Amino acid sequence: MHDGSGRVVVQNLTKTFGQVLAVQNLSFTVEPGTVTGFLGPNGAGKTTTLRMLLGLVTPTAGFSTINGQPFHHLGNPGRVVGAVLEAQSFHPGRTARNHLRVYARAVGVPDHRVEEVLHLVGLTDAAGRGPGGFSMGMRQRLALATALLGDPQVLVLDEPANGLDPEGIKWLRTFLQRFARSGRTVLVSSHLLAEIEQTVEQVVIISRGQTMYYGSLDDLRKSQRSRVIVTPSDPAALLKALQEAGYAAIEQLPDGVLAVWDAEARQVGDIALAAQVAIYGLESRHADLEQIFFQLTSGQFAGRPQ
């Protein structure tokens, strides 16, 4: 039997499709209780990894487990893990409610669970209609409702925010955070950090099938160097004073602007005052997360892989 922990483990997972190395020696663990973001640009290997996790693709090497077991050993997997993958298709002739009833039977849950999940995703009013006429966002909600039928301990969602309007994204965020806080595991992929930045606490960032960062979003923010952008009356004099004060990483930007790395605005201001240099502008800059994500995934930045 599985260990019931809700932990998801990916260990040295590798997948090649002919010449394409889609996933390369990928390892990470997703713990219950938080929402983990699985991030990477298009073609990074997110969907392939999730498909391996869900037993839909056979790995070339490595393995993955949910609750300590490979997917195929989970018994009734619908009760353990709910998943929404890309390009979900629905039977064209069925209403949303009937679609869910078919799946409820497969998972082994009673029909009233169908009404519960319809309510959870806000589709009760549309339940008598066919998903063929649904908007993209409504289809995403129906796919999520399907994943929730078995009241699973683990949720795996591939780009669930695609097609959702801002209200839908906000709803999804609240839903996933609440779900995770109840002690369950949420792994949610995206190619846009900004889209899930407010939803996730942990991130696994991959690029070209490899892990670039694995840890908390807060630590990723903190790992970035800060710099102070200063516009002095006399750039040469301030540069000299800063160097004498021990600041080695100083860039000279156009128009007499200096960028001082690893400094605080206050320190730069005090040094300028002591050197009798007037300051016309002073600003602290921290790399925003989108920049960090871009640097990590465009291969220009070695990062801090763990």
Ligand X SMILES: Nc1ncnc2c1ncn2[C@@H]1O[C@H](COP(=O)(O)OP(=O)(O)OP(=O)(O)O)[C@@H](O)[C@H]1O
Please give the angle made by the CA atoms of 26, 70 and 4, to the nearest 5 degrees: 110
**Nearest distance in Å: CB 19, ligand X:** 9
The least distance separating ligand X from the CB of residue 59, rounded to whole angstroms, comes to 13
Quickly list DSSP for 48-76. Answer: HHHHHHTTSS--SEEEEEETTB-GGGSSS
State the binding partner of 73 from Mg ion, ligand X, none, CB within 5 to 8 A by kind: none
- What is the Cα 194 distance to its own chain's centre? 9
Task: Kindly state the helix (H) or strand (E) to which residue 228 belongs, with its residue range.
Answer: strand 226-232
42 binds ligand X (CB under 6 A): yes
Which of Mg ion, ligand X, none does 40 bind, CB closer than 5 to 8 A by kind? Answer: ligand X
Q: In the complex, which residues of this chain contact Mg ion (CB under 5 A)?
A: 46-47
**44 binds, options ligand X, Mg ion, none, Cβ within 5 to 8 A by partner type:** ligand X
Could you count the other beta carbons within 10 Å of the beta carbon of residue 61?
13
User: What SS3 class is residue 201?
Assistant: coil
- What are the φ and ψ backbone dihedral angles of 298, each rounded to 5 degrees? -95, 5
191 near ligand X, judged by CB under 6 A: yes
Choice between 53 and 144, CB closer to ligand X = 53
Q: How far is the CB of 121 from ligand X (least distance, A)?
A: 22
The residue from 9, 22, 74, 250 that contacts ligand X (CB under 6 A) is 22
Which of the listed partners (ligand X, Mg ion, none) does 277 bind, with a CB threshold of 5 to 8 Å by partner kind?
none
Residue nearest Mg ion, Cβ-based: 47
Return the one option of ligand X, Mg ion, none that residue 22 interacts with (CB less than 5 to 8 A, by type).
Answer: ligand X
Whether residue 63 contacts residue 49, with contact meaning beta carbons closer than 8 Å, is answered with no
CB of 243 closer than 8 Å to CB of 250: yes
Which of 7, 13, 24, 47 is the binder for ligand X (CB under 6 A)?
A: 47
Selected binder of ligand X within 6, 32, 37, 45 (CB under 6 A): 45
Identify whether the C-beta of residue 51 lies closer than 8 Å to the C-beta of residue 83.
no
Strands 226-232 and 279-286: antiparallel
Question: How far apart are the C-alpha atoms of 187 and 229, rounded to whole Å?
Answer: 38
Q: Is 37 in the site for ligand X (CB under 6 A)?
A: no
Q: In residues, how long is the chain? A: 306
Subset of 125-184 contacting ligand X (CB under 6 A)? none
Residue 48 engages ligand X in binding (rule: CB under 6 A): yes
- Tell me whether residue 47 or residue 185 sits nearer to ligand X (CB atom): 47
Residue 297 lies near ligand X (rule: CB under 6 A)? no
d(CA 182, CA 64): 24
Write out the residues near ligand X by the rule CB under 6 A: 17, 20, 22, 40, 42-48, 191
